[in-house]
Amino acid sequence: MRSAWHGIFTFWQRYEHHIGVGALAVGFLFDLWVAKRPDTVFNNLLLLSYLLVAGTFIIMLNVRSRRRPDDAEPLFLLLILQFCFGGLASNLLVLYGHSGTLAGSAVFIGILVLIVFGNEYFRSRYALLRFNIGVYYFLMLSYALIAVPIFVTHSIGILTFLLSGLVSLAAIAGFLALLFFAVFRGTDTHKLREVSLIVGAIFCVFNLLYFLNVIPPVPLSLKDIGIYHSVLHRSDGTYLALYEPAPWYQFWRTTSAQYASNNGTAACFSAVFAPADLQTPIHHVWEYKNAGGEWEERSRISFPISGGREEGYRGWSNKSALVPGEWRCNVETSGGALIGRISFAVLAGTSTPALSQRTL
């Protein structure tokens, strides 16, 4: 039996990096499959399980380090913690990646990417309490920003964001109390001060990123957007839209980036996913790039959305008096967070081409 375990350990040491990369790829593909909707019971149970197991193993690591401080690093405990942090980060990356735009959320998405792909090289750091708590609270707060709007407030906005932060602070305070009084027996108060400062710093950074509209507006996500010549609401609840189709190589667009119109009007149609029972207003913000190269707002249209529809809540706005040049329509929350956008160029002196028809 001992020789079998020795063989497994030797095999692991020899191919550790390859196994880790393979597990990362499989785990990320798994998260792409399960994290399509942030309001599913299974995905939330999975995230809560990751948090629970990660917290348990942080406690176990510190119990072991106090009882046997001179022993070698506990490989099994570190690997399980690494697995939980990687699973949490990759699942949250998928959920946050569906919300907002890559350019607008680059800082926050970059942090999650660093945790996901840097997780393979962080294991030696997981023995440090400060590092553990920092990563753990960052992921805990990221999940709270998704869970509280879905299950508690059924809305988004400043109050919901602040409540999410308070929930995460209450949860990490309970965890730290358990850790320091059950494991450290009330000693090592300097460690408690250190990790409390780390938690406070992460909380403050999250607030800064939120008010700078850097954090994606989870749990909202843009399912569809396009610029159309006309949108007609039919009696069966569908919409009939006329549009200029995008060329085949612009596979990420349905409607063309070149817009030709004799009457100078256009319609922006969007479908925004929101979890069931969540209701919130969104805005279509039409912007024009002026001669100085700056985007200036030309109109802002607000309408409410309600959640539950898999393909997203549909809505549209019309813009008249379009002048030739570069335009875009932003889909934003009431707080100004960007859910998505579409850009297009209005052509001068060009007649309207033959249009395609689409049911929305």
Q: Which tens digits make up the pLDDT trace of 233-256? A: 898 888 999 999 999 898 889 999
Q: Which of 242, 326, 314 is nearest to 286 (CA)?
A: 326
Overall average pLDDT of the 116-121 stretch: 68
Task: Look at 286 and 64; give whichever has higher pLDDT.
Answer: 286
What is the amino acid identity at position 102?
Answer: L
Long-range contacts of 110-113 (CB under 8 A, 24+ apart): 111/138, 112/142
Overall average pLDDT of the 177-200 stretch: 82
* Other Cβ atoms closer than 10 A to 9: 11
Overall average pLDDT of the 15-28 stretch: 58
Q: What are phi and psi of 201, to 5 degrees?
A: -65, -45
* Other Cβ atoms closer than 10 A to 26: 10
Overall average pLDDT of the 17-42 stretch: 69
Question: Does 59 have pLDDT greater than 60?
Answer: yes
Q: What is the pTM of this model?
A: 0.86
Q: Which residues, in sequence order, are CB contacts of 62 under 8 Å at separation 6+?
A: 129, 179, 183, 184
pLDDT of residue 241: 93
111 SS3 class: helix
350 SS3 class: coil
pLDDT of residue 126: 56
Average per-residue pLDDT in the chain?
A: 84
Percent of the chain with pLDDT over 70: 85
* Bridge partners (DSSP) listed for residue 259: 346
Strand order in the sheet with 295-306: 258-259, 338-346, 325-333, 279-289, 295-306
Architecture of domain 221-359: Sandwich (2.60)
The answer to whether residues 331 and 217 touch, using CB atoms and an 8 Å cutoff, is no
pLDDT of residue 309: 83
pLDDT of residue 267: 94
Break the chain into its structural domains and give their ranges: 2-211, 221-359
Overall average pLDDT of the 343-360 stretch: 86
Integer angstrom CA distances of residue 136 from 89, 146, 170, 177, 297:
10, 16, 14, 15, 40
Question: Does 13 have pLDDT greater than 60?
Answer: no
Overall average pLDDT of the 96-107 stretch: 78
pLDDT of residue 15: 57
Q: Which of 156, 148, 140, 131 is nearest to 62 (CA)?
A: 131
- Distance in angstroms (rounded) separating the CA atoms of residues 87 and 298: 43
Overall average pLDDT of the 68-88 stretch: 73
pLDDT of residue 252: 86
**DSSP output for 278-346:** -EEEEEEEEEEE-TTS-EEEEEEEEEEEE---TT-EEEEEEE--PPSEEEEEEEEETT--EEEEEEEEE
221 SS3 class: strand
pLDDT of residue 202: 94
pLDDT of residue 193: 85
Cα atoms in the Cβ-side hemisphere of radius 13 Å centred on 251: 1
Token digits for 311?
């393909």
- Band of the pLDDT at 295, cuts 50, 70, 90? very high
- Band of the pLDDT at 74, cuts 50, 70, 90? low
- Distance in angstroms (rounded) separating the CA atoms of residues 142 and 135: 11
- Band of the pLDDT at 67, cuts 50, 70, 90? low
Overall average pLDDT of the 295-324 stretch: 90
* Bridge partners (DSSP) listed for residue 330: 285, 341
- What pLDDT, in 10s, does the model give residues 138-186? 999 999 999 999 999 999 999 999 999 999 999 999 999 888 887 777 6
What is the amino acid identity at position 211?
Answer: F
Question: Does 229 have pLDDT greater than 90?
Answer: yes
The answer to whether residues 193 and 318 touch, using CB atoms and an 8 Å cutoff, is no
